[in-house]
Chains A and B, each alone.
Chain A
Amino acid sequence: MRYKELYEMRMRVIVIFLIMIAGLTFLVAARPLAVSMMEEMYKDFDQIPEALQRLLGDPAMVQRLADDSFYIVSQWQGNNLGQFLPIVVLLIAFPVFARETDKGTIFFLLSRINRSTVFWNKVLTGFFVSLALIIVLSLLGPVFMMLGGYDATFGDSFAIMVHQVISVALLYFLFTIFSIVFNDQIKPVITGIAVVLAMPFASLIDALSFINIYPYIMGESIINTGKIDWTYSIVLSLMAVGLLFLSYKLFEKKEF
């Protein structure tokens, strides 16, 4: 059954991978221009509105970007890959059950294979594929820099990867719930996108800022302090386990 799942998601995974690789290639190719572009952006930093200052971040970043390892970690994992991670996970998770329900193929599986086997095979295959995709893409950042002739190391890549692996788990199991609850393929996507878009807005309210996991995904604390945010990591991991358990219960109760 795992082979069927892999076979069905192969095109999606290949397309996502190629798009992300194209982005990474561009990022490495743009390396010589990056510092001068950033210096230009930060030139009148003191005169721009405070909201825009917050958006641009710390001006000290510009100096640190001179380091190749910091450049790739901050601009790839801490920026491009981090920003797209929720969408990548959504694209893999949303059809896991919704497509089978929508197309009526779920009857073929549920009449022949026990519900728990169907659930674990489908959920875990998609989960490990998402995980593998993000791990490979994370590590390809420094590798591409080295191939481009730059003096980059893996540096904080592994630490940010820990954040991103936990984020994949949390988001994947959340999107799996949408895939179980809805009977078509559109609603899980729309709900997933709504969640992804709502996260940055939540941070505008202090009491809800913990909902916004974007800074965590992009390794903000690691880039700033060099340390993994263990407390938040543990909380998000527990939430991921809770969502997995909830999705199993929902699938067990669902009628088709």
Chain B
Amino acid sequence: MKVETTAAISIRNLKKIYGKSTIAADDVSLEIARGKITALLGPNGAGKTTTLKSILGIIHYQGEISVLDRDISDVRSKVSFVPEEKSFYDSLTLEKAFNICAMILDEFDQEKARRFAETFDLPLKKRIRSFSHGMKTAAYLSIALSENADIFILDEPTWGLDPIRRDEVLDIIAEIASNGKTVLYTSHIIPEVERIAEIFSIMYKGRILYTGELASLATEFRVFEMPSRSPVLEKERFESELKRKDKVTVLSNDPSQWERVSSVEGVSSPDTDLQTFFHLLIRGSSHEI
């Protein structure tokens, strides 16, 4: 199960089948760079959570995964995880929860957790079960982000948070990475990913469709919009095409093609943002690049 690598997390040929035929991860290979924020994007059921659970050894899988060049069981104290469902022991007060975490976790900074609780406006003396959904999420994050881990694996960390708390969490995640920690997180909210992620992977139906740096997306790809009857569509072959009513959006990674296409009348070239790229890959004519 171990792969020697310089990446923080290395996944090779991960395969996970639930039951007899539900393929949740289909030959997934992925390297998570050390000290960077990597976002794993994908629609519901893409296999993101399955991939995270496989990394953590919570489920059994086929393939090879190493974390900090070792088996996960050797480095658990170096990994902090926030699951999709942020359920903590709700009969505890937050203060008691921090005390218990300090007892059971090797690398838990209780003072840091208290500071986060203050930042998120969380009462220390109230039972977690009396918290709103957003407060429970913030409480979980206060605990997970206070671990002195090297890798933070966050499954939809901002889901259910109000915009103010969401901004605060994103700032904290960015700060964690600026201190040399590795962050792997999943999200549905693309503007959020654009704001903090350095590397992103798009997952769909159990497969990784694309992995790349966010900063180089606009230089590697170009998006064009044109009427659905444009002659360009017959002459050129694009990486992906997405038809919407009488308009077609296409994706190209061929610079020579960019010149030919942009000179045609009726063709426009909007910014290549992650949102458009994501939609073209998931909903377009081709899922593979």
Q: Which residues of A approach B to under 8 Å, CB–CB? A: 1, 3-4, 7-8, 103-105, 107-108, 110-115, 253, 255-256
Is B56 in the interface zone, CB < 8 Å from A? yes
Given contacts A3-B103, A4-B103, contact A111 B58 (CB under 8 A): yes
Residues of B within 8 A of A3 (CB): 100, 103-104
Contact status A104-B91, CB under 8 Å: no
Question: A8 to B91, Cβ gap below 8 A?
Answer: yes
Report the separation of the CA atoms of residues A7 and B285 in the bound assembly, to the nearest whole angstrom: 56
Alpha-carbon distance between A104 and B90 when the two chains are bound, in angstroms: 11
Q: What B residues does A112 contact at CB under 8 A?
A: 76-77, 79-81, 104-105
**Which residues of B are found within 8 Å of A4, using beta-carbon distances?**
89, 100, 103-104
Partner of B81, one of A8, A103, A111, A256: A111
Residue of B nearest to A121 (CB): B104
Contacts A112-B76, A256-B58 given; does A107 touch B103 at CB 8 Å: no
Leading 8 A-B pairs by shortest Cβ distance: A104-B87, A111-B81, A107-B83, A255-B59, A104-B85, A1-B104, A111-B56, A4-B100
Residue numbers in A under 8 Å from B153 (CB-CB):
111
**A110 nearest CB neighbor, chain B only:** B58
Contact A114 B91 (CB under 8 A): no
Residues in A with CB closer than 8 Å to B258 are none
Taking CB as reference atom, which chain A residue is nearest B91? Answer: A8
The number of chain B residues touching the other chain, given as a range, is 20 to 34
Q: Decide yes or no: A105 and B79 within 8 Å by CB, A112-B105, A255-B60 being known contacts.
A: no
Asked if B88 is at the interface of the complex by the 8 Å CB criterion, the answer is: yes
Which residues on B sit within 8 Å (CB–CB) of A104?
83, 85, 87
Q: Which of B49-90 contact A (CB under 8 A)?
A: 53, 56-60, 73, 76-77, 79-81, 83, 85, 87-90
The total number of A-B Cβ pairs within 8 Å is 60
Q: Which residues of B contact A105 (CB under 8 A)?
A: 87-89
Interface contact A107-B73, CB-CB below 8 Å: no
- Chain B neighbourhood of A111, CB < 8 A: 56, 58, 76, 79, 81, 83, 153
The interface centre, meaning the residue of A4, A111, A113, A115 with most chain B CB atoms within 10 A of its CB, is A111
**Would you give the shortest CB distance from A102 to chain B, in whole angstroms?**
9
Of B53, B87, B105, chain A has the most CB atoms within 10 Å of the CB of B87
Distance, CA A7 to CA B87, complexed state (A): 18
C-alpha spacing A8/B83, complex, angstroms = 22
Query: A253-B60, A255-B58, A255-B59 are known contacts. Are A7 and B83 too (CB-CB below 8 A)?
Result: no
A114 near B58 with CB under 8 A, answer no
What are some 20 contacts across the A-B interface (CB < 8 A)?
A: A3-B100, A4-B103, A7-B92, A8-B91, A104-B85, A105-B89, A107-B83, A107-B87, A108-B81, A110-B56, A110-B58, A111-B76, A111-B81, A112-B77, A112-B104, A112-B105, A255-B58, A255-B59, A256-B53, A256-B59
In the assembled complex, the Cα of A105 lies from the Cα of B100 at a distance in Å of 14
Name B204-250 residues within 8 Å CB distance of A. none
Residues of A within 8 A of B56 (CB): 110-111
Residue of B nearest to A7 (CB): B100
Once bound together, how far apart are the Cα atoms of A162 and B60, in whole Å? 41
Contact B76 A114 (CB under 8 A): yes
CB B88 to nearest CB in A, in angstroms, measures 6
* Cβ contact within 8 Å between B89 and A8: yes
Please give, as numbers and ranges, the residues of chain B lying within 8 Å of A256 by CB-CB distance.
Answer: 53, 58-59
A108 touches B60 (CB 8 A): no
Q: How far is the CB of A101 from chain B (nearest CB, A)?
A: 11
| Residues from chain A with Cβ under 8 Å of B77 in the complex | 112
What residues of chain A lie closer than 8 Å to B103, measured between beta carbons?
1, 3-4
Nearest opposing residue in chain A for B73, CB measure:
A114
Interface centre among A1, A7, A112, A255 (most CB of B within 10 A): A112
A178 CB to nearest chain B CB (Å) = 21
Task: A108 to B141: give the CA distance in the assembly, Å.
Answer: 12
